[in-house]
Structure 1
Amino acid sequence: MADGPGRTPSCGGGGSRPVERRPARGTRPTRGTRPAPAGAPAARPRARLHPAAWWLWALALGTAATRTTNPLLLALLLTTSAYVVTTCRPHTPWSRSYSAFLKLALAVLLIRLVFVVVLGSPIPGTHVIVTLPEVPLPAWAQGIRLGGRVTAEGVLFSLYDGLRLATLLVCVGAANALASPSRLLKSLPGALYETGVAVVVALTFAPNLIADVQRLRAARRLRGRPDRGIRGLLQVGLPVLEGALERSVALAAAMDARGYGRTADVPAPVRRTTAALTLGGLLGVCAGTYGLLTAAGADYGLPLLLAGVAAALAGLRLGGRRSPRTRYRPDRWTPRACLVAASGVAVAALLAAASTTDPQALHPGVVPLTAPTLPLWPAAAVLLGLLPAFLPKEPS
């Protein structure tokens, strides 16, 4: 006679005992947990950071780098950008481009030093490092020399200047590593959509190329083939070019399928008004910027700049009618995005103010040869750029 459900057959005429049911492997017991109420709203996922906030933060740090030649402040800016990128960058192909920008910045710095050693420096100096054989040049090449004395003052001046350019390149690399190019394109106004597509494609070329090179080099290492040297470079270069060509053809097909370049019918008065506002706004921005940079135009520079920006934005708003597009889940400016952008803008503004109040600290001299010092409050201003690393992380 079969026993009932949940019981084992008896042995030797004994009774039956209940079967002990154990939870399946990999599951956790639910003892002590309370089910969610039926009418409770689901938790909303936290919004992702707006990509324009990362670009504003990075470009502001680059602007701050252009306001100083102090190597200590520039090294602090490099450290700040590197720490934020290491902490906040996502696990995506474009995030690997930061190391490539670091190598590019190092190459720019080395080339700048090689030029000053070979071609000389206009900075006079008395501390001679080495004297190279000088090549005599004709009379029409006066002011240019090949070889000769290499002074410590000239090398340090070129080092400071090259380090400023290298810091600017690294800040642009930080923006490429932190911001998603596709999301940045989605956030552009409709009037700049075609231009934005071209810029985004150009910006994503380097990260995709670096990812292809790394993938092919790893595959060659697994096969026991050389991946370094001239031979390895030549054998990796052809597959990389083939992949770039295939990606370009696929991108062209996708853009054509999505109606790239097609515009809507706009009345002629709206087109003329858009052109007038855009052109007038750009002229106003140029004139206002020139007025701010000169002492004579300090009175009219800022109002003209603001008027030009307002007219250009109005032109872009009207020009967006020619590109009717919809955005799926557009990125919002959250308080976290505002804090990220504001931290970079604060660094740029404070260093710009420090360059006018204490120019000697931000631009150390090399004649006479002295060691640079670290100004305290400009250094504290640079540390404001670390704020994004201590904010809540972006959801993956």
Structure 2
Amino acid sequence: MTHAPGTARLLRRALHAPEAGRSNALPAGAWWLWALGLATAASRTTNPLLLGLLVGVAGYVVAARRTDAPWARSYGAFIKLGLFVIALRLLFSVFLGSQIPGSHTVFTLPELPLPDWAQGVRIGGRVTAEQLVFSLYDGMKLAALLICVGAANSLANPARLLKSLPGALYEAGVAVVVAMTFAPNMVADVVRLRTARRLRGRPTGGVKAVAQIGLPVLEGALERSVAVAASMDARGYGRTADVPPAVRHTTNVLTLGGLLGVCAGTYGLLAAQGAGYGLPVLLAGLVAAMAGLRLGGRRSVRTRYRPDRWGVRAWLVAGSGAVVAAAMIWAGSVDPEALHPGVVPLTAPELPLWPAVAVLVGLLPALVAPVPPTARGAASVPPTPRGRGFEEHDRSGKEQA
């Protein structure tokens, strides 16, 4: 009993998240592994309650741990994209029909007659509640995948992600990082220009305003592209070392074979019939791909300044996403009906207990990840000397009065 206070103190110290800095910031790969774990869990279910819980977990972690960087503001755009996907899926179901039979007719649209060679396709006709619910579940599944990817895009620094890539993928990684940072920077430019026009009393809506905002946005994107190209050329981008032909051919075979194995194993894990061979093929593909990338890294002559170190907090963040994905895959093999509520006959979805508890494990990054300085709140920021001087001046003025 005497060791209980000391144990509790150590536990609180381990769970206490320090303030994020250059030395203790989480690697970008940890955030992406966490988000991909949530996305894998979302791909295994069509239960709207579990999908909503996954989106809520991702949104809470983003709200608690994102910074003020330009890429951190793209999470709202992914939410809007997810809502657009759901609306588009419902729209296609209404006008193009569905293969889901149903007996509860909601409304009937005029059906367009089609030729004989287009059998099985219809435009318009009867719209049932069963097909609308099925389309809603399917759209929510894809929207949850997009939102989980948006969470990783908002939390992970693209430049730090580029530093973590193997040397063989450096050229492709630069292209991916530039593509990933283009959209958030463009969104930030649009917000900045609309704010400037609003302060000047100019309209921010309409075709004319969009045309006037679009030209400066494209000009800024072009300037950033030229600056990135100049910096890459100044740093010797694209220069490689000479390696023997045998090593080069072995690298190509291992990398290509490993990537094919990863694709086949991932398909086996996601498909209902490939659960037996999916995991072994995926592991074999990962080993071959990592060996190929290790050999291919000999051609890279670059060095790394302050490489990211994977500490306990990084492994906890990445492991929480892996736990969520593994638990959802296991639940799908044990009780698939709980993860896929039926629509024929139409039944209300139920929240399964153990998958829901496993999804809540995804909240662990909100407890262990370092806290950005802006997330501490303004109350924790001490007043500046200038502010204290103004307070003393006001206090002395009131006493004199």
TM score, norm. by length of structure 1? 0.85
Decide which structure has the larger Cα Rg and report it: 1
Instruction: Evaluate the alpha carbon distance shift between residue 350 and residue 244 of structure 1 in structure 2; reply closer, same or farther with a 3 A threshold.
Output: same
Alignment partner, residue 4 of structure 1: none
Contact 1:48 1:394 in 2 (8 A): no
Say yes or no: does 1:375 pair with 2:345.
Answer: no
C-alpha root-mean-square deviation of aligned residues, in Å?
1.9
Say yes or no: does 1:315 pair with 2:292.
Answer: yes
Whole-Å Cα distance in 2 between the matches of residues 339 and 198 of structure 1?
Answer: 29
Write out the 4+ residue segments of structure 1 that deviate beyond 6 Å after TM superposition: none
Contact 2:67 2:372 in 1 (8 A): no
Say yes or no: does 1:186 pair with 2:163.
Answer: yes
Alignment partner, residue 365 of structure 2: 388
Deviation at 1:58, TM superposition (A): 0.5
Q: Which structure is higher in RCO with an 8 Å CA cutoff and minimum separation 6? A: 2
Write out per-residue CA displacement over residues 48-79 of structure 1, whole angstroms, 9 at most, x where no aligned residue: 11110000000110010000000000000010
Say yes or no: does 1:227 pair with 2:199.
Answer: no
Deviation at 1:283, TM superposition (A): 4.2
Contact 1:49 1:394 in 2 (8 A): no
Q: Which amino acid aligns with 1:327?
A: R
Instruction: Evaluate the alpha carbon distance shift between residue 362 and residue 323 of structure 1 in structure 2; reply closer, same or farther with a 3 A threshold.
Output: same
Q: Which amino acid aligns with 2:365?
A: P
Say yes or no: does 1:146 pair with 2:141.
Answer: no
Alignment partner, residue 380 of structure 2: none
Alignment partner, residue 17 of structure 2: none
Whole-Å Cα distance in 1 between the matches of residues 199 and 274 of structure 2?
Answer: 66
Whole-Å Cα distance in 2 between the matches of residues 165 and 133 of structure 1?
Answer: 29
Q: Which amino acid aligns with 2:86?
A: L
Query: Which stretch shifts more, 233-242 or 363-372?
Result: 233-242
Contact 1:85 1:174 in 2 (8 A): yes
Q: Structure 1 regions of 5+ residues with no counterpart?
A: 1-43
Equivalent position to 2:49, from 72, 80, 85: 72
Deviation at 1:147, TM superposition (A): 1.3
Say yes or no: does 1:162 pair with 2:178.
Answer: no
Query: Which stretch shifts more, 95-104 or 286-295?
Result: 286-295
Equivalent position to 1:119, from 96, 107, 115: 96
Matches within 5 A, 1:29-68: 47-68=24-45
Contact 1:191 1:317 in 2 (8 A): yes
Matches within 5 A, 1:186-225: 186-225=163-202
Alignment partner, residue 130 of structure 1: 107
Contact 1:50 1:333 in 2 (8 A): yes
Instruction: Evaluate the alpha carbon distance shift between residue 74 and residue 289 of structure 1 in structure 2; reply closer, same or farther with a 3 A threshold.
Output: closer
Instruction: Evaluate the alpha carbon distance shift between residue 254 and residue 116 of structure 1 in structure 2; reply closer, same or farther with a 3 A threshold.
Output: same
Say yes or no: does 1:329 pair with 2:306.
Answer: yes
Whole-Å Cα distance in 2 between the matches of residues 48 and 269 of structure 1?
Answer: 40
Q: Which amino acid aligns with 2:55?
A: L
Whole-Å Cα distance in 1 between the matches of residues 22 and 246 of structure 2?
Answer: 44
Deviation at 1:306, TM superposition (A): 2.9
Alignment partner, residue 13 of structure 2: none
Say yes or no: does 1:110 pair with 2:80.
Answer: no
Alignment partner, residue 238 of structure 1: 215
Write out per-residue CA displacement over residues 181-214 of structure 1, whole angstroms, 9 at most, x where no aligned residue: 0010011110100010011111111101100110
Whole-Å Cα distance in 2 between the matches of residues 352 and 78 of structure 1?
Answer: 18
Write out per-residue CA displacement over residues 239-264 of structure 1, whole angstroms, 9 at most, x where no aligned residue: 11111111111111111111111111
DSSP-derived class of the 1:80 partner: helix
Contact 1:290 1:297 in 2 (8 A): no
Whole-Å Cα distance in 2 between the matches of residues 162 and 96 of structure 1?
Answer: 24
Whole-Å Cα distance in 2 between the matches of residues 51 and 79 of structure 1?
Answer: 21
Deviation at 1:137, TM superposition (A): 1.7
Whole-Å Cα distance in 2 between the matches of residues 391 and 247 of structure 1?
Answer: 35
Q: Structure 2 regions of 5+ residues with no counterpart?
A: 1-20, 374-401
Contact 2:317 2:369 in 1 (8 A): no
Q: Which amino acid aligns with 1:246?
A: E
Alignment partner, residue 397 of structure 2: none
Deviation at 1:285, TM superposition (A): 3.7
Identity %: 69
Deviation at 1:86, TM superposition (A): 0.3
Alignment partner, residue 243 of structure 2: 266
Whole-Å Cα distance in 1 between the matches of residues 261 and 372 of structure 2?
Answer: 41
Aligned length: 352
DSSP-derived class of the 1:356 partner: helix
Deviation at 1:358, TM superposition (A): 0.5
DSSP-derived class of the 1:148 partner: strand
TM score, norm. by length of structure 2? 0.84
Deviation at 1:290, TM superposition (A): 6.3
Contact 2:65 2:369 in 1 (8 A): no
Say yes or no: does 1:351 pair with 2:336.
Answer: no
Instruction: Evaluate the alpha carbon distance shift between residue 193 and residue 365 of structure 1 in structure 2; reply closer, same or farther with a 3 A threshold.
Output: same
Deviation at 1:142, TM superposition (A): 1.6
Contact 1:46 1:395 in 2 (8 A): no
Write out per-residue CA displacement over residues 100-122 of structure 1, whole angstroms, 9 at most, x where no aligned residue: 00111111110111111111111
Alignment partner, residue 228 of structure 2: 251
DSSP-derived class of the 1:63 partner: helix
Equivalent position to 2:60, from 83, 99, 105: 83
Whole-Å Cα distance in 2 between the matches of residues 294 and 387 of structure 1?
Answer: 29
Instruction: Evaluate the alpha carbon distance shift between residue 112 and residue 196 of structure 1 in structure 2; reply closer, same or farther with a 3 A threshold.
Output: same
